[in-house]
Amino acid sequence: MIARYASLLLLFCANLAAQTADKPGVHVRFRALAFDEAIPGANYLEGDTLRRLDIPNNAFTRETSYQGTSTIRFITIDEETLNPQPLSPEMTSALQRLRRAQAVTLQASDEFTQINRLLNTLQLQRTERAQKPSAGDQAQIEALNGRLKELSGILSTASKETEETNLLILRLESAPKTSPKNTEKKGRKGPKPTSTPTAEHTFQKDGDYLLLFSSAGNGHQILAFDDNEGIFPNGSFAFINLTGKEVEIRYPDRKIALRANARTTVKNPAPDHQYGLAEIYTKAEDGFELGHVFRALQNPDVRSLVFLLPVPDESHAIRSKTIEDRRPAEAAGAK
């Protein structure tokens, strides 16, 4: 099934992206997400510098600034062949430092997400009760917000530590090494490649983008969404139709037709912090048939990427995969 979804995603990409030649001088900001499996250790070249980026499959990466040629190329480093010789004390120390920073980031990110969900739940309960929170509830909310500030500081420090350590590792890797004797013997196999091409994408213009990576053969295909201000704001839902057929999204106040391999952005008609329903119908021979009921909380501070996917052996059934995201404050402000 993953291969089928990946192929549908490739068709979607082909419908949206035009093939162009390289042209220098783009300046973009992007965030990345892997549609299938996460991509640890993805790297891209910016000028003469190799940048490291771990791409998860359950959330977008932090915003990354890129300035260089219009085509950005990613490679995946094979960790086992980065340095086949015994690691130097400096490299061992740097790798340990990197693992510590990554562990701090993972733990703090998980706690940050859990607290955000709890705050959203408390906000929803308060809205439903239509009354001011009790002194105890207010104290809890203030404590949670205080912890969010602490975690933001921890994440910022860990991000800086990770970046500095990655640069140190790259410098250590690029330092001249003494070749072992007899490595040039006739008939001896050369070293295994230390990296493999993963994906590339050509940016049409400067701006903000969401990059979606999907499996394609031995590498990945990149689908780029324009993420400039007003296109995919907080509080909206971006539906991507990967069912292979035309669908119709029906809210109580409107209907939205969405062809196969297309995308549309809509605003949930439900009031803020209330749940709204959308019925999603698939095209049938004599009209449309109900394939899925999509229920979502209308949160003005969150935007959602909703993938509409087919259900095996059920011609009109649909399932959805949702990725929630908060549009970065830097991207939401003036350029």
pLDDT at 334: 43
| 85 or 258, greater pLDDT | 258
Is the predicted pLDDT of residue 43 greater than 90, yes or no? no
Nearest residue to 195 (alpha-carbon basis) of 52, 334, 21: 52
Read off the CATH number of the domain in which 258 is found: 2.60.40
| Number of residues that this document lists for the chain | 335
CA 12 to chain centre: 17
Q: What is the mean pLDDT of residues 98-104?
A: 87
Neighbours of 33 (CB within 10 A): 22
Q: How many domains does the chain have?
A: 3
Q: How many Å apart are CA 234 and CA 227, to the nearest integer? A: 11
- Indicate left, alpha or beta for 4 from its phi (over 0: left) and psi (-120 to 50: alpha): alpha
Mean pLDDT of 136-152: 87
For residues 105 and 144, state if they share a domain.
Answer: yes
Is the domain of 202 the same as that of 167? Answer: no
Range of the domain at 106: 89-172
Residue 187 lies in a domain: no
Q: Is the pLDDT of residue 250 over 70?
A: yes
Would residue 186 count as lying in a domain?
A: no
Q: Which residue has the higher pLDDT, 48 or 55?
A: 55
123 inside domain: yes
pLDDT at residue 177, rounded to an integer: 59
pLDDT of residue 256: 93
Same domain, residue pair 7 and 140: no
**Residue 184: inside a domain:** no
Per the DSSP assignment, residues forming a β-bridge with 222 are 213
Residues facing residue 46 across a β-bridge: 49
One domain for residues 71 and 205: yes
Check whether residue 73 and residue 126 sit in a common domain.
Answer: no
Asked if residue 183 belongs to a domain, the reply is: no
Between 195 and 221, whose confidence is greater? 221
| Mean predicted lDDT score pLDDT of the chain | 80
What pLDDT is attached to residue 329? 63
- As a whole number of Å, the CA-based R_g of the chain is 23
Q: Give the mean model confidence (pLDDT) for residues 251-278.
A: 90
Q: Is residue 188 part of a domain?
A: no
Q: Are 58 and 134 within one domain? A: no
Averaged pLDDT for residues 126-150: 82
Query: Can you tell me the mean pLDDT for 37-58?
Result: 86
Tokens of residue 145, six digits: 């917000």
What tens digit of pLDDT does each residue of 52-97 get? 889 998 889 999 999 988 889 888 765 554 445 677 888 888 888 8
Q: How confident is residue 239, by pLDDT bands cut at 50, 70 and 90?
A: very high
Check whether residue 316 and residue 257 sit in a common domain: yes
Whether residues 56 and 112 share a domain: the answer is: no
**Residue 23 predicted with pLDDT over 50:** no
Q: Do 267 and 293 belong to one domain? A: yes
Same domain assignment for residues 59 and 41: yes
Q: Catalogue the E-assigned strands of the chain.
A: 26-34, 39-46, 49-55, 64-68, 71-77, 195-202, 207-216, 219-226, 236-241, 247-251, 254-258, 263-267, 275-284, 287-297, 303-311, 314-325
